[in-house]
Structure 1
Amino acid sequence: MNDLSWQNESLGARIRVALWLRDEIGEGGTFSKARIREAIKGTEQVDRRMRDLRPAGWVIQTYRDKPSLQPDQLYLERIGLPIWEAEHRAAGLRQISAKTRRFVYERDGHMCRRCGVAAGEEYADDPGAHARLTLGHVNPHRSGSGAHAEDLITECARCNETVKHLTGVQMTKEQVWDRLKELPVRGKRDLLAWMKVDHRPLSATEKAWGMYRQLPAAVREELEIDLEKLMRS
Structure 2
Amino acid sequence: MALPSWEDPKLGSMKRVALWLATVAGEGRIFTYTQLRDVFPGVAQIDRRVRDLRGRGWRIDTAREDTQLGMHELRLVSVGEPVWEDRKGPGKETSGLTGTRRREVLAKDGHICRSCGISVGEDYAGSFERSQLDIARREVRLPDGSTAVELITECRRCRVGASQLETDAAQTIAEISHLGSMELRMLDSWVKEDKREFGKVELLWAAYRTMPADSRERFRVALKSSLG
Rg larger in structure: 2
Q: Which has the higher contact order (CA 8 A, sep 6+)?
A: 1
Provide the TM-score with structure 1 as the length reference. Answer: 0.40
